[in-house]
Structure 1
C-alpha cells in the first residue's frame, strides 16, 4: 500500500498525528475554541486554527494573550474548551484514507499516535471511534516539553518503539507537524484538505 509512495523503503513503524489526520476533529475543536473564547470577546479563524495546528492548547492560549493583549488563564481555558469539545464528540468521524492504511498494517508493524492534544481527550475520542486496538503507543502533550515544530515528540515515539527515525513514516495534516517530522529525520505523508494522502513538501 505504501509502496506507491515509497517504492524503495520498508518502514518499520508508522507514526500518526491525531486531530485532522486519523480523526476529523478539527471542526469540533474549532467550535470548542470559539465557544470558550466568546466570554473574552475573542474568536479564532479557521485559517489561524489550521496554522497553529499541532501546538498544545496551553501554548495557543499564551499566543492568543500575546496577540490580543489579553489575560486568559490557560489552565482554566483548557478545562472550559475541553467541556465544549466533549459535548460535540458524537459528531467526530475517522478519516477513511488514513484508516485504510491503519487497518492494512495492523499487526504487521508498530503504530503510534503522536499528538499535541492531551491524553484524556485523545483516549476519549479513540474510545468513541473504536481506535484503541490499532495502536501500540500514544505520545501526547503531557509527555514532552517542546511541541511541534520541534522534533521531540516524534523522536520520543521512535525511541519508545526502538525504531530508528529513518525507518519511521509520519502521517500529518499540519505544517508544524510536517516540519517536526522532517526535523526528526523521518519521511512524511500529508493528509490534504480533501483527505487524500500526498508527499509532504520539503
Structure 2
C-alpha cells in the first residue's frame, strides 16, 4: 500500500509553481539576468539570488534604479528569456507525475509571463495545462496570495483544499497566505532549506492518488 506525505488528508486540487518546481530554468534565467545586471552596474553575484520566485517587474522595481522604467525593462528581459532556453529541463519524474493527474484538478501558478511560461514548458517537454495563472493575471505577485486564490477560484475549489508545490520563500509565503497546504520541492536548491513543510527532492516514486470522490492524495510508492 502507498504511504501518504499528508497522512489522512486529501485535496481538491494540486497547484504547481513552475520554475524550480516542475522544471529547472535557473541557468537560462541567470544568463539573461546576469547580462542585464552587468549592464546596470550591479553586483551580479549578490543580485542573482533575488530574481527567483517573483515577477520580473517587481525584481526591477525594488532596485529603484534612477531613470529605469521597470515595466519596459521587465518586458525586454522577458523577450530575452523567451529566446534563451538552453539547459531548461523537467525536474526528474515531473512529466509522469503530471500525466497521472486528472484533467481539471491541477494548475500551474507561476510568476513568469504567459509567453515565457509556455516557452519553458515546451522546452522542458512538459504539458501546458488547461489552467495556468501567470504574471499578467494578478495585480500583486508572490509573496501575495492572489495567484493561488485565483487558481483555486477558477478550479472551483476552496484554497484550503489545495496542495501547493513550491520551491522559493516568496512562493511558500504566498501559498501560506492563501491558506493552502504546501510541499517544498528541493531539486534546484544549492543549500539546505529550512521549512516546516514536507519536502521532496523530485517526483520519483510519487503519485497523485485519486479517491472515490475524486479527491487527491500525495502518495509515495
The TM-score, its normalising length taken from structure 2, stands at 0.77
Deviations 1:106-127 (A, max 9, x none): x266110101110110011122
Point out where structure 2 has 5 or more consecutive residues left out of the alignment.
Answer: 198-221
Higher strand residue share = 2
Runs of 4+ in 1 over 4 A off after TM superposition: none
**Structure 1 residues 51 and 3, CA gap change in structure 2 (3 angstroms):** farther
Aligned residue in 1 for 2:88: 92
**Structure 1 residues 174 and 127, CA gap change in structure 2 (3 angstroms):** same
Aligned residue in 1 for 2:214: none
Aligned residue in 2 for 1:62: 61
RMSD, matched Cα = 2.6
Counting only pairs closer than 5 Å after superposition, residues 148-187 of structure 1 correspond to structure 2 as 148-187=142-181
The TM-score, its normalising length taken from structure 1, stands at 0.84
Higher helix residue share = 1
CA distance in 2, matches of 1:127, 1:148: 24
**Deviation of residue 56 (structure 1)?**
1.0
**Structure 1 residues 156 and 51, CA gap change in structure 2 (3 angstroms):** same
Point out where structure 1 has 5 or more consecutive residues left out of the alignment.
Answer: none
Is contact 1:54-1:148 (8 Å) kept? yes
Aligned residues: 194
